[in-house]
Amino acid sequence: MDDRRGFIKNAAKIGLGSQLLFNTPLELIANNRYKISSNDKINFGVIGCKGMGWSDMASILKNSETDCIALCDIDDTVLKERSENVKDITGKKPKIYKDYRKLLDNKDIDAVVIGTPDHWHCLNLVDALSADKHIYCEKPISNSIEEADIMLKASLEAKKCVQVGQWQRSGGQYKEAMDYLWSGKIGKVRLVKVWAYMGWYGWVDNFKDTDAPKGVDYSMWLGPAPLRKFNQNRFHGSFRWYWDYAGGLMTDWGVHEIDIALWGMNAKNPLSISAAGGKFAYPNQDTETPDSLQTIYEYKDFTMLWEHANGIDGGNYGLSEGIAFIGSKGTIVVNRTGWEVIPEKDHRNGGDLFIEEVPRTTFNWDQVRKKYGNALDLHTENFVDSIKKNDPSILNCGIESGSQVSKVAHMGNVAFRSGSKIKWNKEKNNFDNSTANNLIIPKYNNGWSLPSL
C-alpha cells in the first residue's frame, strides 16, 4: 500500500521529457564501447539533433558496432554542441551539414536518425529511402494522413529497415500486459481508455515576432510550412502546439499510447471519430492545438476514448498517462511505470471475483529499468539488429505500425478541427465530410513539394 501511495504521488514524474529520461552520461557510453573494425560498423547520420534525435543517436552508440559520422541541423549552436558530444563518445568529430540532402549524398552513411519537427518527417524519410539509407524516424511518423500513406508506400517499396521511435513497443511491461490481454482472461473488451495528462507541459508565454537567431537557417527550418516571421514559440520544443508543424498532444504522447491500444486490440482504422475540446486552460496564449481534448473512436465491437489535458497531472487510475483495456471480467492498466489487472465482481453469482488481481511490481522509472531494461536502448538495439540481418520483419515498431497510429491520431485532430462526427470510408481512403477531407492532404510551400509515388 505504501508503494501504491508513493507511486500515485510521484506518477507525474514519469512525464518528464523522454530525452531527460534517457539521458545517459556520455563518458559512460564511451567507456562501455569496445574496439571494432571500421569495416564492421554501421555508419549513422542524424537529421535534427536538438532533442530526441540526439537521445536516439546516443542510445544507438551504446552498440559498439555503430558510429556517428555526420550531423545535420539548421542551428549552428546545436551542431557545435552535438559534434562535441559525438567526439566525447567516439573519439572523433562527425561531418556537419546544414542541408539534409547533402548529408544523404554521403555514400559512407548506412542509416539515418530523423529527429526534425513533424512537418519535415515525410520529406526527410522519402529522400533518405531514395538515398538507400535505413531509417530510425521519430514519432509521429507524419504530420498528416496523406503523408502517413506516402511514407508507408515508399518504405515498403524500398525494403529498407524503418524503425519508428514509439519505443514503448520495446518495453517489457507492455509486452507482459499484451500477453495477458491476448490470453482472454479479462473477457470481452468493449472500451479502451487512452490518455495523457501533462501538468508541466504545454503552456507558453507570448512573444513578439523577431529576426531568427544568429546561426539559424530559419528558411530551412520552415521548409514546406507556410512562410512567416520567426517566433521563438514556434521553434525548438514548443513548435508542436501549432498546426503548421505538428498536432499537439494528440500526435505527441497520443501516438505512443494509442499505438499500444491498437496493438492490443489488433485494430486499424476506426469506423467513425468525434472529438470535443479546446484551449480551455490557456485561452490567451498564441498556441493553436487544444490543451483539452476528448476523442471517441468507434470500432466494430469496441470504443476507444482518447483524452488529454495540458496543465493537469491527475489522469485516470491516478496516472498521468496510460492505457486501460476494460473487459467484462477485469481491466488491464499499463503505462511507463508498470502494469496491473483490476478484477471485476461476478454480481450475478455471489459477487466473487472473476479473476485474480495482478498487482503492480514496478512503480517508478528506476524499478522499470531494473526489471525490464531501458526501453529506448532495447528499441534502438532492435533497429541495429534488423540492419545487421537486413530484415525489417523483426522490427518492434516498423513503418506499418508507425504509419497506422499516425493516421489514427490525425483522424482525431481532423474530427476536432472539422467540428463534426466523421466517418471513415475504407475503400475511398477519406471521410464523409468535405471539411475533413480538406485536412487529409497538406499544402507544401516555399518551393517544396509533397512526395508523389
Q: For residue range 338-393, what is the model confidence (pLDDT) as tens digits?
A: 999 999 999 999 999 999 999 999 999 999 999 999 999 999 999 999 999 999 99
**Termini Cα distance of the chain:** 56
Apex CA 344: angle with CA 339 and CA 345, to 5°?
150
Task: Using a pLDDT cut of 90, give the percent of the chain over it.
Answer: 90
Residue 103 has pLDDT above 70, yes or no: yes
> What cell was used for 217?
537557417
Per-residue pLDDT, 22: 64
Do 388 and 380 touch, CB atoms closer than 8 A?
A: no
Mean local confidence (pLDDT), 242-247:
98
- Whether the CA torsion 14, 19, 20, 26 is positive or negative: it is positive
| Residues shown for the chain | 453
Residue 92 has pLDDT above 70, yes or no: yes
Q: Tabulate helix, strand, coil % of the chain (nearest 5).
A: 40, 20, 40
Residue 309 has pLDDT above 80, yes or no: yes
CATH class for the region spanning 13-168: alpha beta
Q: In which band, very low, low, confident or very high, does the pLDDT at 24 lie, cut at 50, 70 and 90?
A: confident
Mean local confidence (pLDDT), 169-185:
98
The string of DSSP letters for 138-196 reads PSSS-SSHHHHHHHHHHHHHHT--EEES-GGGG-HHHHHHHHHHHTTTT--EEEEEEEE
Q: Where do we find the cell 514548443?
A: 238
Residue 18 has pLDDT above 90, yes or no: no
Mean pLDDT of all residues in the chain?
94
Per-residue pLDDT, 202: 76
Mean local confidence (pLDDT), 399-425:
98
Q: In which band, very low, low, confident or very high, does the pLDDT at 13 lie, cut at 50, 70 and 90?
A: very low
Burial 18-31 (b: 16+ CB within 10 A, else e): bbebbebebeebee
Residue 422: enclosing H or E segment and its boundaries?
A: strand 422-425
Q: What's the rounded Cα separation, in Å, for the pair 340 and 363?
A: 11
Q: What is the DSSP letter of 353?
A: B
Q: Residue 61: which of 31, 81, 101 has the closest Cα? A: 31
Q: Where do we find the cell 477519406?
A: 430
Q: What's the rounded Cα separation, in Å, for the pair 351 and 248?
A: 43
Contacts of 436 (CB under 8 A, 6+ apart): 414, 415, 418, 420, 422
Contacts of 45 (CB under 8 A, 6+ apart): 68, 69, 70, 71, 72, 94, 103, 104, 106, 109, 111, 112, 113, 133
Angle between helices 248-265 and 399-418 (to 10 degrees): 130
Residue ranges, comma separated, of all CATH 3.40.50.720 domains in the chain are 13-168
Residue ranges, comma separated, of all CATH 3.30.360.10 domains in the chain are 172-372+399-437
Q: What is the CATH number of domain 172-372+399-437?
A: 3.30.360.10
Contacts of 427 (CB under 8 A, 6+ apart): none
Apex CA 346: angle with CA 340 and CA 349, to 5°?
155
Give tens-digit pLDDT for 72-82.
999 999 999 99
Number of CB atoms found within 10 A of residue 284's CB:
6
Apex CA 256: angle with CA 426 and CA 78, to 5°?
120
CB-based burial label for 426 (10 Å; 0-12, 13-18, 19+): exposed
Contacts of 198 (CB under 8 A, 6+ apart): 15, 249, 253, 308, 309, 310, 311, 312, 313, 320, 321
Residue 21 has pLDDT above 70, yes or no: no
Q: In which band, very low, low, confident or very high, does the pLDDT at 411 lie, cut at 50, 70 and 90?
A: very high
Q: What's the rounded Cα separation, in Å, for the pair 164 and 440?
A: 21
Mean local confidence (pLDDT), 53-75:
97
Q: Are strands 189-198 and 321-327 parallel, antiparallel or unpaired?
A: antiparallel
Q: What's the rounded Cα separation, in Å, for the pair 33 and 65?
A: 9
Q: C-alpha distances in angstroms, 341 versus 5, 361, 426? A: 17, 11, 34
Q: Where do we find the cell 550531423?
A: 71
Q: In which band, very low, low, confident or very high, does the pLDDT at 1 lie, cut at 50, 70 and 90?
A: very low
Per-residue pLDDT, 203: 81
Alpha-carbon dihedral 27, 28, 32, 37, rounded to 10 degrees: -30
Apex CA 133: angle with CA 127 and CA 139, to 5°?
70
Mean local confidence (pLDDT), 47-74:
97
Do 291 and 309 touch, CB atoms closer than 8 A?
A: yes
Residue 243 has pLDDT above 70, yes or no: yes
Residue 5 has pLDDT above 50, yes or no: no
Q: What's the rounded Cα separation, in Å, for the pair 308 and 4?
A: 23
Q: In which band, very low, low, confident or very high, does the pLDDT at 418 lie, cut at 50, 70 and 90?
A: very high
**Cis ω for the linkage preceding 94 (within 30 of 0):** no
Mean local confidence (pLDDT), 114-119:
98
